[in-house]
Amino acid sequence: MVIRKAAEFKYSDITPNSVYMNRRKFIGAGSVAVAGATAGWKLLDLSWPSRVALAGTKLNVANKSPFSTSEPQTSYKDVTTYNNYYEFGTGKDEPSKNAHTLRTSPWTVSIDGEVKNRKQLDLDSLMKLAPLEERIYRHRCVEAWSIVVPWIGIPLSALINKLELTPKAKYVAFQSLYDPKQMPLGRSAGIQLPYVEGLRLDEAMHPLAILCFGMYGETLPNQDGAPVRLVVPWKYGFKSIKSIVKISFVEKQPPTTWNIANSQEYGFYSNVNPTVDHPRWSQGTERRLGELRRRKTLMFNGYWDQVGQLYAGMDLKKNY
């Protein structure tokens, strides 16, 4: 086993997904660890049968976060084979089969709109804006399944604080990559692409909202939104937009993909709320992947104490 050291790490070292998945099988999900003082490194595993298995790049995580839940984590297998990523197919098992065609390097994110310093940031610069943190969060899909994932990322506020916004910036709009060559199934996704999402500026500044680059100690697999996605744990999963290429600061509430698709069923806010049912199903309970019995869904997915004040005075039934 050859281990390359921290200084040599660049995000562009990202391994193709197929090879990555092979090594996962080899090391198993159990070897995930918080790397303490060591920096990101790369494993070259020569013992994998008949070929060299390059690693998913290990990410260095400085500290345990007080924002993490101590609930049991969902298995790596479930989180990487049961996905919603319509650009790669609408079946839960399709993204894991198809997303290897996503090219995640080189990758740039454009920052534009109501900001004085519009720019293009590459992944390395984005990841260096703040120390990487592990955030073990509950993730609740609007379809009433849930998972617990050890994400790795930086507070979205770390990016926003580095920018000079104009006084008109009231919302943040996000856009995913849409390249039909890499995402041929996007044409039959049944939703308008590119996928777009948005947050109010104060929601985006909340310490729980993160720009996410990895999970389970390593860079994100393509099907989970590589190389950079949003994670907003108090909102339904569809707000956590994957494979982001553009972040815009805007004055008016921006359009969002599922609201465009069906505004009766999916609102802009989409805070997890067990007391506001989806028109076609109850939001009172959920199925946690890997568990047999359904669980009660918690107010704002269990983050009410932290984020409730963002919505003080708002009618949560109207602002669904």
Ligand X SMILES: Nc1nc2c(c(=O)[nH]1)N[C@H]1C(S)=C(S)[C@@H](COP(=O)(O)O)O[C@H]1N2
Query: Which of residues 9 and 217 has its CB atom nearest to ligand X in the complex?
Result: 217
154, 237, 244, 273: which one binds Mo ion (CB under 5 A):
237
- For position 82 contacting Mo ion by CB under 5 A, the verdict is no
Of 130, 125, 150, 128, which Cα lies nearest the Cα of 139?
150
Closer Cβ to Mo ion, 19 or 183, answer by number: 183
CA distances from residue 317 to 24, 256, 273, 320 in whole angstroms, order as listed: 43, 19, 9, 6
Q: Is 152 in the site for ligand X (CB under 6 A)?
A: no
Q: Rule CB under 6 A: which of 192-211 touch ligand X?
A: 195
Instruction: Count the residues of the shown chain that bind ligand X, applying the rule CB under 6 A.
Output: 16
* 139 secondary structure, DSSP code: E
Q: Which of 107, 128, 126 is nearest to 227 (CA)?
A: 107
- Give the binding range for Mo ion (CB under 5 A) out of 85-93, 185-193, 231-239, 303-311: 231-239
CB of 189 to ligand X, least distance (A): 8
Nearest distance from C-beta of residue 191 to Mo ion, angstroms? 12
Q: Candidates 73, 83, 98, 146: give the one binding ligand X (CB under 6 A).
A: 83
User: Is the distance from CB of 216 to CB of 30 less than 8 angstroms?
Assistant: no
H/E element holding 181? none
In a 13 Å sphere around the CA of 201, the CA atoms on its Cβ side amount to: 17
Q: Which residues of 62-83 are buried (b: 16+ CB within 10 A; e: fewer)?
A: eeebebbeeeebbebebbbbbb
Work out how close the CB of 223 gets to ligand X at its nearest, in angstroms, rounded to a whole number.
6
**Residue in 123, 141, 185, 272 binding Mo ion, rule: CB under 5 A:** 141
**What is the closest distance, in whole angstroms, from the C-beta atom of residue 267 to ligand X in the complex?**
14
